[in-house]
Amino acid sequence: QVQLVESGGGLVQAGGSLRISCAASGRTISLYAMGWFRQAPGKERELVAAVSEYSRRTTYTDSVKGRFTISRDNAKNTVYLQMNSLNPEDTAVYYCAAGATFTVVTTNPPYWGQGTQVTVSS
């Protein structure tokens, strides 16, 4: 029912920053906990960050803590991932996801975007 479209990916040098966005349509994202996942070539998809409906809770995978920030603007129906101090290990396709609860979005989200490629050069 909700569709998600990521944007903002691209090529960035190591140490640089990038902000990717997830624009939702169909339903307001205030109904959903939102998350970002990523998948590198040959690797399984992993949770990067998640945020609850009104930003009361956030979680980050250990490898991005202190570098990445997830945020949301429910009025704009948009979720963001600010990525700082990027390194080549961050290279992946980044996917936006939505779920009815914080637990759902971190484990088995039913709604996904198409992904946006982030490539970090060394």
* Residue whose C-alpha is closest to residue 19's, from 29, 7, 28, 31: 7
- The answer to whether residue 1 scores a pLDDT higher than 90 is no
Please give the pLDDT value at position 62: 98
Distance CA 33, CA 3 (A): 14
Listed range (26-30, 33-37, 49-53, 80-84) with the worst mean pLDDT: 26-30
Question: What pLDDT band is residue 9 in, cutting at 50, 70 and 90?
Answer: very high
What is the 3-state secondary structure of the chain? CCEEEEECCEEEECCCCEEEEEEEECCCHHHCEEEEEEECCCCCCEEEEEECCCCCCEEECHHHCCCEEEEEEHHHCEEEEEECCCCHHHCEEEEEEEECCHHHHHHCCCEECCCEEEEEEC
Band the pLDDT of 120: cuts 50, 70, 90: very high
Reported as a single tens digit per residue, the pLDDT across 21-40 is 999 999 999 999 999 999 99
- pLDDT-derived band of residue 52, with 50, 70 and 90 as boundaries? very high
Query: Mean pLDDT across the stretch 41-54?
Result: 96
